[in-house]
């Protein structure tokens, strides 16, 4: 691998790289990906409220979920310093995201992991291309993906996350309204809940975002 010097990308080079990351997402297994402007990222405190009311089982259990994840106030400041992002979607078969069996067997877990790992790999590629401040947000609680049966080591003083190259805060955990963003880029997204059956929806979605520069 030949690394690019930091700050060496031209405007044309940046656009080429953004398209490269979009294509990389597809090659890694994403159903689709879009290059978006960072000022179209929707941050809303109500998203965090949904983490707490009713309280998610992963709330407060890991470093990448509320109340430990970045606040919406912090995130808004961060997003203002970026210009572009790569927004990814991964379609999930309806039988793996809706219905009692899907919930009981946690069939969504592999799709959460895949979406989060796609985000981490794009972030890493951008870093090595000279966009050293690239920042990724995955899909779902990292604890439910990587550390289901253990306590979060990142919350233990003197310890660090054993999955730091893969684990990322989800878009929802930092207050990003990914539902709204999905509709804005033309993706259909369905409000799937505990009572939704597989017959009621064509598919589910897992979403991720990498802010590039």
Task: Let me know: does 71 contact 49? Beta carbons within 8 Å.
Answer: no
Q: CA torsion 31→37→40→46, rounded to 10°? A: 70
Peptide bond into 60 cis (omega under 30): no
**Angle, to 10 degrees, between the axis of helix 11-27 and the axis of helix 109-128?**
150
Task: Let me know: does 168 contact 120? Beta carbons within 8 Å.
Answer: yes
pLDDT tens digits for 183-206?
A: 999 999 999 999 999 999 999 999
How far from 203 is each of 82, 106, 137, 139, CA to CA, in Å?
Answer: 32, 16, 22, 16
Name the helix (H) or strand (E) containing 37.
strand 32-37
What are the domain boundaries of the chain? 11-211
The closest of 47, 38, 69 to 133, measured between CA atoms, is: 38
Residue 78 and residue 72: Cα distance in Å, rounded?
10
pLDDT at 9 over 80: no
Residue 26 and residue 155: Cα distance in Å, rounded?
34
pLDDT at 6 over 90: no
pLDDT band at 124 (very low <50, low <70, confident <90, very high): very high
Task: Let me know: does 201 contact 190? Beta carbons within 8 Å.
Answer: yes
Q: Describe the chain by its helix, strand, coil percentages, rounded to 5.
A: 40, 15, 45
pLDDT at 142 over 90: yes
pLDDT band at 10 (very low <50, low <70, confident <90, very high): confident
How far from 28 is each of 51, 119, 183, 190, CA to CA, in Å?
Answer: 29, 10, 23, 24
Q: Encoding tokens for residue 197?
A: 């059956």
Q: Which pLDDT value is given to residue 5?
A: 80
pLDDT band at 11 (very low <50, low <70, confident <90, very high): confident
Residue 145 and residue 96: Cα distance in Å, rounded?
15
pLDDT tens digits for 80-123?
A: 999 999 999 999 999 999 999 999 999 999 999 999 999 999 99
pLDDT at 38 over 80: yes
What's 140's DSSP letter?
S
Q: Which pLDDT value is given to residue 110?
A: 95
Name the helix (H) or strand (E) containing 45.
helix 45-52
pLDDT at 3 over 90: no
pLDDT tens digits for 154-163?
A: 999 999 999 9
């Amino acid at each position: 691998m030949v690394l690019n010097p930091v700050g060496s990308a031209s405007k044309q080079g940046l656009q080429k790289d953004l398209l490269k990351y979009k294509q990389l997402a597809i090659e890694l297994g994403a159903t689709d990906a879009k290059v978006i402007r960072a000022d179209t990222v929707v941050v809303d405190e109500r998203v965090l409220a949904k983490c707490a009311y009713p309280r998610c089982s992963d709330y407060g259990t890991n470093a990448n979920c509320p109340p430990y994840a970045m606040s919406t106030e912090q995130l808004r400041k961060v997003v203002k310093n970026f210009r572009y992002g790569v927004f990814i979607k991964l379609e999930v078969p309806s039988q793996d995201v809706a219905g009692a069996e899907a919930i009981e067997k946690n069939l969504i877990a592999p799709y959460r992991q895949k979406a989060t790992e796609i985000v981490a790999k794009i972030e890493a590629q951008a870093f090595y291309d000279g966009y050293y401040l690239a920042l990724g947000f995955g899909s779902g609680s990292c604890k439910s993906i990587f550390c289901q049966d253990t306590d979060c080591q990142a919350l233990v003083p003197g310890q660090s996350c054993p999955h730091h190259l893969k684990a990322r805060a989800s878009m929802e955990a930092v207050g990003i309204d990914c539902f709204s963003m999905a509709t804005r880029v033309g993706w259909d997204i369905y409000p799937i809940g505990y009572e939704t059956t597989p017959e009621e929806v064509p598919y589910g979605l897992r979403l991720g975002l990498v802010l590039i520069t």
